[in-house]
Amino acid sequence: MRRRFVRSKGLILLFFAVIFSFGILGQVDTRMHIGGSDWDLDSLIYINVDEYLYTLDSQDDFGQPAPTAETLAALDGAVQSVERPQVAVLDAPAEQEAEGSAAAAPSRAESALQVATPPVAAPPKVEEKKEDKPTIFVHKVNPGETLWDIANAYGVSVDSIISANELRNPNMLSVGQELNILSVQGVLHQVATGESLWEISERYQVALEEIARVNNISDPSRIMPNTKIIIPGATQLRPKDVLIINGQLQKAFDWPVTGRISSPFGPRWGRMHNGLDIAVNTGTPVRAAADGRVTFAGWNGGYGILVIVDHGNNVETRYAHNSRLNVKVGQTVTRGQIIAYSGNTGNSTGPHVHFEIRHRGNPVNPQNYLK
């Protein structure tokens, strides 16, 4: 009987133990979500911390006082603020955390955005390409080669080659002759003494800036004589009327009047006629054949009323048999300026202009140097 009572008591105790163990396991299952498929991180942290704090005794295991209600409330708010972020953030740099000032340091979300945004690369700097000075090729004429063949080979016009080389007869080329070939359409101009870029621009009707750009001229006000420059777009060479080049008189004089030649330069009536007689009516304007300075203006024996203009480099011109003067000694005159009016003064058989060109004191045939 006693043995049966003990056994029944043991079964009852075992029954209560099993029920108690299932209750504990159920509570653990509820707490730990054992067997669940989704983990609620917020509930897990919040419930554990909250319930643990609220179930603490007045002292913890280490004998320290339990946290107060104010501490629990502050901790509860801190936990909630950390556990419920609105955006996923990265850790801010250590320097910002060390500052300890929320106003000075950017927020964690802003730091995350700044880190996550890739830097925009600056566009590569494009250096301005500096244009090189147009090349001037030197071509040696081959046997049987014509000017058209050369122009076609270089892709330029015949006129461009003619003007760049001052060819008087394009049909007469000699083997081995050197020709300047421009890489651009234009003419090759040689700067004369005293010639300015502005003057060249006006003569060719090409913008000064364009001439300077094509030839890489940094200072248009300083250009050296005898420099060869390209005049872009020009088709005909228009050199300055330079009277002397390399000591040689040039075909660069204007006619003083327009009329019939009544007596040429050379021997006449047993003596030398040092000038050219041009028949015109009395009172016809007489113009300077080139720039210069008046050295004589007045009566001079057989010349009658005479004007002498000095052009420099030992070159002078004379205008005789005038009816009246329009200049005085020491006056500077320009090409084409009226210096006198024609007449029949001095040793003259009729109204005309006696015109002379003298180089180094010696008279020369004006027809060889009049344009």
Give the tens place of pLDDT for each residue, 114-155.
544 555 555 555 555 445 556 788 899 999 899 889 988 888
Q: pLDDT tens, 61-82?
A: 555 555 555 555 555 554 444 4
Provide the mean pLDDT of the chain. 76
Nearest one of 230, 105, 263 to 163, comparing CA atoms? 230
**Burial level of 321, CB count in 10 A (0-12/13-18/19+)?**
buried
Cβ-based neighbour number of residue 342 at 10 Å: 28
Q: CA distances (Å), 23 to each of 17, 30, 36, 91, 265, in order?
A: 10, 10, 18, 43, 146
CATH number at residue 215: 3.10.350.10
149 in the same domain as 205? yes
Flag whether 92 is in a domain: no
Looking at 210, 240, 270, which one is the last position of a domain?
Answer: 240
Which range among 123-127, 166-170, 227-231 shows the weakest confidence by mean pLDDT? 123-127
Last residue of a domain, one of 81, 97, 127: 81
End-to-end CA distance of the chain: 162
pLDDT at 261 over 50: yes
Same domain, 215 and 307: no
CA distance 42 to 74: 17
User: Is 214 found in the same domain as 314?
Assistant: no
Residue 259 and residue 236 in one domain: no
Check: CB of residue 233 under 8 Å from CB of residue 185.
Answer: yes
For residue 354, count CB atoms less than 10 angstroms from its CB and return exposed for 0-12, middle for 13-18, buried for 19 or more: buried
| The model's pTM | 0.44
107 assigned to some structural domain: no
> 224 with 281, same domain?
no
Task: Indicate whether 218 and 275 sit together in one domain.
Answer: no
Q: Residue 18 is encoded by which pair of tokens?
A: 């099993």
For 157-161, 250-254, 297-301, which range has the lowest pLDDT when averaged over its residues? Answer: 157-161
Do residues 290 and 338 share a domain?
yes
Number of structural domains in the chain? 3
Say if residue 155 is in the same domain as residue 221: yes
How many CB atoms are closer than 10 A to CB 163? 22
Residue 86 domain-assigned (yes or no): no
Is residue 363 scored above 70 in pLDDT?
yes
- DSSP letter at 140 equals E
| Same-domain check for residues 265 and 362 | yes
CA-wise closest residue to 258 among 328, 344, 363, 355: 355
Note down the domain range covering 306.
249-368
C-alpha torsion sign, points 205, 207, 210, 214: positive
- Say if CB 228 and CB 200 are below 8 A apart: no
Tell me which of 81, 101, 116 is where a domain ends.
Answer: 81
